[in-house]
Amino acid sequence: HGQAGRLYTEEDPLVILTSDTLKQTLFNSSTAWLVQFYSSWCGHCIQYSPTWKALAGDVKDWSQAIRIGVLDCAHEKNFDICKEFSIHFYPTFRYFKAHSTAFDIGKTYRGADREIQTVRQLMVNFLQNHTRRDWPAGCPPLEPARTENIQPLIGLKSDHYTAVIIEDEESYIGREVILDLMPYEGMVVKRVLNSEKVLMEKLGISTAPAAYLFYPNGTHAGMDVQKRIRFFFSSFLKLLPGVHRKQPSSVQQPEQAAIKDQSTSELFKEFDKSKVYMVDLESGLHYLLRVELATHKTLEGVELKTFKDFVTVVAKLFPGRQSVVKLLETLLEWLISLPLEKIPYEAILDLANNKMRISGLHLSERVQWLGCQGSSVALRGYPCSLWTLFHVLTVQAASRPDALANTALEDDPLAVLQTMRQYIGTFFGCRECGKHFEEMAQESMSQVKSLDEAVLWLWRKHNQVNARLAGSMSEDPMFPKTQWPTPDLCPTCHEEQDGLHVWNEDMVLAFLKKHYSAANISPKYTS
Ligand code: FAD
């Protein structure tokens, strides 16, 4: 019962409404709304809440056209408002049009089918019920385009791409992709019915659904996706060069100043997204040892233990160059041999700088990002390298289960994750990040029972962070936060079940083990 009223939290991708906010939110809203009036004691509402959250996550990018809300009628504060809105049963689903200027209790959805795909399609239908006058301002047209609208695009130069989804009249893919791309600039998506035979023939398309792309430079071509499903089309379009998420206007994000990297703003270097770069990993270690740790004058107690564990894990698992591994091992031996309960940071720095340099062991001299380059100095860099490092370490632990033998972390499937958790909580400069990560760890880390599960746990949590940060200030417009790996990197990782995107976790695990393996780490720019 401690959970009462907490079926939904601020972390969920939906809006929690109350008697204080309901009317002012719905009245003259620039977007349409779909609100679930529920009761926190109704068993069915509790069982349904994961579906509702999944739906809200699935249509998060539609929020300039239609938004998802919840209101708890079991909360004393909301008794009156639920009466006023004539809510008799729970859950009750109500649609509210955009720009309603009179008091409106909305339209109830009475269907028995509350599956995500059905409700999502109803949302599309509901949007289309708006008239030209009350059309949500941010919502692009959803009506099919005609041959005569598309034909002139052939050979035409433009400042944006136009993607055309050719499909059956009953299909929702085109409209869903239009809405998915709504928060992105540089891309216009249109839907064309496959009854437009002339156009189909002109573009050489024989089966629907299909997608066609008109490039800004005036060229055009069929869109080559492995599966002709919504998620593949949308992902493909979001990842095109020049397509960016529009800058968020209001939402402020946690201060990132503490973790800004030090790289000079050099020219952008080309890199391959399907590779991991040693230079990022080494720069991350360099920054961690020389900058992040330096803010702690002495290490003792939890800090010292955390640092020792961290050095143990990297010394044993880091698939680095021989000189770097040797450096880490020297550091570890030194830490273990010291009977001190307190180590001044200066001593660690000394060791890293002098002794190791003399013996020819070294890390890169400065931070330099390649796969973790940002479009500006404040973006990506160090936090990106830290994620990458821990993914590499979980994968190494899974492929070399004996690597931690004879250390304090022996035989623990959670060794890497706990070390990461301790490190992030104790040293990571971004405090907010640490707090969020600790919450996620408390919630589910203890369920991890094997080294493979540890690999998947970190992947899942990283995606959770990506989802939370999509569209926020810390998102680099050149590198939009997506659910990863994207279909271009791993087509078999993605499936569709009842119209909802699902992961094939066996495939994801296999992909992660390959992507973050030593064999996939490129030595480019390491000197
Ligand atoms: P990153 O998210 O840093 O990812 C780096 C690379 O990892 C990607 O380029 C991709 O190749 C790969 N990748 C992406 N997703 C996955 C996945 N699911 N599994 C495996 N590999 C993947 N910033 C905030 O503003 N607020 C926070 O609360 C916050 N919490 C954080 C918590 C932790 C533990 C860490 C390490 C960082 C946190 N950050 C937070 C920073 C943020 O997550 C990003 O690291 C930062 O914004 C840089 O983003 P990026 O585009 O380089 O991609």
Q: What atom in ligand 1 is closest to the CA of residue 273?
A: 11
d(CA 225, CA 110): 37
User: In CATH, which superfamily holds the domain spanning 15-128?
Assistant: Glutaredoxin (3.40.30.10)
Q: Give 481 Cα–ligand 1 centroid separation in angstroms.
A: 8
- Calculate how far, in angstroms, residue 480's C-alpha sits from the geometric centre of ligand 1: 11
| Domains 15-128 and 147-245 belong to one CATH topology | yes
Residue nearest to atom 5 of ligand 1 (CA): 384
> What does each C-alpha distance from 256 to 322, 379, 440, 525 come to in angstroms?
34, 9, 20, 27
Beta bridge partners of 184: 245
Domain 147-245: CATH architecture, name and number where available: 3-Layer(aba) Sandwich (3.40)
Phi, psi of 110 (to 5 degrees): -105, 0
The yes-or-no verdict on residue 264 having pLDDT over 50 is: no
Sorted by sequence, the CB contacts under 8 Å of residue 508 that are 6+ apart come out as 456, 459, 485, 490, 493
- Hey, whose CA ends up nearest to atom 37 of ligand 1? 383
Gap between the Cα atoms of 309 and 426, Å rounded: 12
**Segment of 86-100, 236-250, 369-383 carrying the highest mean pLDDT:** 86-100
Closest Cα to atom 4 of ligand 1: 384
* Higher per-residue confidence, 498 vs 19: 19
> What pLDDT score does 263 carry?
41
* Percent of the chain scoring above 90 in pLDDT: 68
The mean per-residue pLDDT over the stretch 133-149 comes to 93
pLDDT tier, 5 (very low <50, low <70, confident <90, very high otherwise): very low
Atom of ligand 1 nearest to the CA of 390: 36
Cβ atoms 257, 472 nearer than 8 A: no
Residue closest via CA to ligand 1's atom 47 equals: 474
Averaged over 433-458, what is the pLDDT? 96
**Burial class of residue 506 in the structure, from the number of CB atoms within 10 Å of its CB (0-12 exposed, 13-18 middle, 19+ buried):** exposed
Is the CB of 463 inside a 6 Å radius of any atom of ligand 1?
Answer: yes
Is residue 111 over pLDDT 90? no
Domain range annotation of the chain: 15-128, 147-245, 257-522
Residues recognised as catalytic: 42, 45
pLDDT of 266 > 80? The answer is: no
pLDDT at 29: 92
More confident residue, 454 or 249: 454
Residue 476 per-residue DSSP state: B
Q: Is the CB of 375 under 6 A from ligand 1?
A: no
Ligand 1: residue of 10, 238, 387 to mutate (most ligand atoms within 8 A of CB) is 387
Nearest Cα residue to atom 19 of ligand 1? 459
Nearest CA owner, ligand 1 atom 40: 433
Lowest mean pLDDT among 217-231, 234-248, 343-357: 343-357
Confidence category of residue 156, pLDDT binned at 50, 70, 90: very high
Residue of 288, 384, 515 with the most ligand 1 atoms within 8 Å of its CB, for mutation: 384
CA of 384 to the centre of ligand 1 (A): 5
Domain boundaries 257-522, corresponding CATH code? 1.20.120.310
Instruction: Give SS3 for 342.
Output: strand
- pLDDT confidence of residue 256: 34
Distance (angstroms) between ligand 1 centre and the Cα of 380 equals: 8
By C-alpha distance, which of 460, 521, 470, 428 is closest to 58? 470
C-alpha to C-alpha distance for 310 and 473, rounded to whole angstroms = 30
What is the share, in percent, of the chain residues with pLDDT greater than 70? 93
Rounded to two decimals, the pTM is 0.75
Report the Cα–Cα distance between both ends of the chain, in Å, rounded.
59
Q: What is the mean pLDDT of residues 121-134?
A: 94
Phi, psi for residue 386 in degrees, rounded to 5: -70, -45
Q: What ipTM describes this predicted complex? A: 0.99
Q: How far is the CA of 483 from the centre of ligand 1 (A)?
A: 11
Ligand 1 neighbourhood includes 474 CB (under 6 angstroms)? yes
Number of the ligand 1 atom closest to the C-alpha atom of 374 = 52
Tell me the average pLDDT of the chain: 89
Choose among 376, 365, 353: nearest CA to 283. Answer: 365
Q: Tell me if 486 CB under 6 Å of ligand 1.
A: no
Nearest CA to ligand 1 atom 25: 474
Q: How far is the CA of 446 from the centre of ligand 1 (A)?
A: 22
> What's the mean pLDDT in 404-430?
93
**Virtual torsion, Cα 294, 287, 468, 226, nearest 10 deg:** -170
Burial class, 142, CB count within 10 angstroms (exposed 0-12 / middle 13-18 / buried 19+) = buried
Least confident of 68-77, 173-182, 251-260: 251-260
What's the pLDDT score for residue 61?
94
Residue with tokens 């009761």: 39
Residues paired with 214 in a beta bridge: 162, 220
Q: What is the pLDDT of residue 374?
A: 87
Helix (H, G, I), strand (E, B) or coil at 51: helix
Q: Are 109 and 122 in contact (CB under 8 A)?
A: yes
Cβ of 429 below 6 Å from ligand 1: no
**What are the tens digits of pLDDT across the range 175-229?**
999 999 999 999 999 999 999 999 999 999 999 899 999 999 999 999 988 899 9
Predicted confidence (pLDDT) at residue 59 exceeds the cutoff of 90 = yes
Asked if 483 and 466 count as a contact pair (C-beta separation under 8 A), the reply is yes
**Could you give the CA distance from residue 385 to residue 118 in angstroms, rounded to a whole number?**
41
At 1 the pLDDT is 35
Q: Atom 17 of ligand 1 has which residue's CA nearest to it?
A: 459
Q: Which of 36-50, 192-206, 372-386 has the highest mean pLDDT?
A: 192-206
- Its sign, for the CA torsion 374, 379, 382, 383, is negative
Q: Which of 38-47, 454-463, 518-527 bottoms out in mean pLDDT, i.e. has the lowest?
A: 38-47
From 389, 455, 465, give the residue whose CB has the most ligand 1 atoms within 8 Å, as the site to mutate: 465
Other residues' Cβ atoms within 10 Å of the Cβ of residue 319 = 20
SS3 343: strand
- Which residue's C-alpha comes closest to atom 41 of ligand 1? 383
Residue 184 near residue 244 (C-beta atoms within 8 A)? yes
What value does the mean pLDDT take over residues 306-324?
A: 95
| pLDDT of res. 361 | 57
SS3 content of the chain, % helix, strand, coil (to 5): 45, 15, 45
Closest ligand 1 atom, CA of 466?
Answer: 2
Cα(419)–Cα(309) distance, rounded to whole angstroms? 6
The residue ranking higher by pLDDT, 217 or 377, is 217
Tell me if residue 495 falls in helix, strand or coil: strand
Instruction: Kindly give the distance from the C-alpha atom of residue 383 to the centroid of ligand 1, in angstroms, as a whole number.
Output: 6
Chain-centroid distance, C-alpha 68: 19
Give the pLDDT score at 163.
97
CA 381 / ligand 1 centre spacing (Å): 10
Which residues are bridge partners to 276 per DSSP?
Answer: 521
Alpha carbons 269 and 369: distance in angstroms, whole number: 9
Q: Is 253 in the pocket of ligand 1 (CB under 6 A)?
A: yes
Q: Which atom of ligand 1 is nearest to the CA of 432?
A: 28
Ligand 1 near 386 CB (within 6 A) = yes
Closest CA to 131 of 333, 16, 139, 285: 139
Q: How far is the CA of 465 from the centre of ligand 1 (A)?
A: 7
Among 269, 311, 305, 267, smallest CA distance to 289 is for 311
